[in-house]
Structure 1
Amino acid sequence: MPSYAQDVPLYVNGVESSLLAETNPLVRAVIMSLFTWRRAEPDDVVEDTKWGWWGDNVSAIENDRIGSRLWLIAREKLTQSVMNRAVQYAEEALTWCVDDGVATRVTVTAQRIQINGMGLTVTIYRVNQPPLELRFSDVWSLINNV
């Protein structure tokens, strides 16, 4: 698990901003949502056990989940299909933003970085505020623990 403020390469609206991760609760919540291991779904293929945060099994709110399933793609070859799943997993992890009224919508895009890297861009559309764009420049290394 990264120490968020130091290990997550973060750009906010185009400007490198690790400090914002420490001071902005929404940015911190997005980082936690993306880079905390969410419990695997029953149909997810995992080697050994259903990894993920055990607290998902005892939540007071039905079907409330924390984190993302990005960890499921860690040992796969970086293909377009895997990048599409990364977007799907990130969107799933951030649905709480809309459900809780923090945002009107959230979009996620994946970008290939050189030959073996992937970045994610998350745009959070908030009511009466400009969109907040968070760009994570080295997601592939983070989920592969490199």
Structure 2
Amino acid sequence: MDLLLAFDEELLTGDLRQLGAGLETDQGLRTAVVLSLFSDRRAEADDELPIGETDRRGWWGDSLAEIAGDRIGSRLWLLARRKILPATLVEARQMVEESLAWLIEDGIAARIEVEVTHRPPTTLAIRVGIVQPRGDRVDYSFESLWQGVREASV
């Protein structure tokens, strides 16, 4: 059980919600998926940073991980200023899979299915299906990401 992170797709922000005297909780995996997808993972040494950026981002706590190379978040932020081309969709899908791989490694999921689509003119949509070890399936959709990304024909 996690604290519920109420996620705003338009602003790409999240916040905790109060429930009575405490905080609302998440009985599923939504908060874990939101944190995995929308926290900025540190860019790899060979990643091309968006124009005008020099910060490789990432969470400082990753340098203290108990398992070498264990990192939080995704590198989706690197795509925020890219044209939406077929290659961008492939790269986004790989980044989503990378950010959620820990669910399989930790035995929380048996399989993860990812679909990234272009919603013209300038929006990406992500759908994630998580098949748990017992066969239960949960699906999450994020339908209006990166509005305002430069338009390109797909």
Q: Common fold, TM-score beyond 0.5?
A: yes
Find the residue that maps to 2:71 and give its secondary structure.
Answer: coil
Q: Does the Cα contact within 8 Å between 1:39 and 1:54 map onto a contact in 2?
A: no
The unaligned stretches of length 5 or more in structure 1 are 10-20
Q: What percentage of residue pairs aligned between the two structures are identical?
A: 37
2:30 is the counterpart of 1:24:
no
Pairing partner for 1:114 from 101, 106, 120: 120
Instruction: Flag the structure with larger Rg.
Output: 2
Structure 2 counterpart of 1:61, one-letter code: I
Q: CA deviation at 1:80?
A: 1.2
TM-score, scaled to structure 1? 0.80
Q: Which residue of 2 aligns with 1:8?
A: 9
Q: Which residue of 2 aligns with 1:72?
A: 78
Mapped partners of 2:43, 2:139: distance in 1 = 28
Normalized per residue, which structure has more strand? Answer: 2
Q: Does the Cα contact within 8 Å between 2:122 and 2:148 map onto a contact in 1?
A: no
Q: Which residue of 1 aligns with 2:58?
A: 52
CA RMSD of aligned residues (A): 2.5
The unaligned stretches of length 5 or more in structure 2 are 11-23
Q: CA deviation at 1:140?
A: 2.0
Mapped partners of 1:25, 1:135: distance in 2 = 14
Q: Which residue of 2 aligns with 1:126?
A: 132
Normalized per residue, which structure has more helix? Answer: 1
Find the residue that maps to 1:61 and give its secondary structure.
Answer: coil
TM-score, scaled to structure 2? 0.76
Find the residue that maps to 1:102 and give its secondary structure.
Answer: coil
Q: Does the Cα contact within 8 Å between 1:22 and 1:28 map onto a contact in 2?
A: no
Question: Closer, same or farther in 2 for the Cα pair 1:74/1:127, shift >3 Å?
Answer: same
Moved over 4 A (4+): none
Structure 2 counterpart of 1:106, one-letter code: I
Q: CA deviation at 1:83?
A: 1.1
Q: Deviation per CA, 1:36-87, whole angstroms, max 9, x where unpaired?
A: 0001111111241322222222222211100000000111111111111110
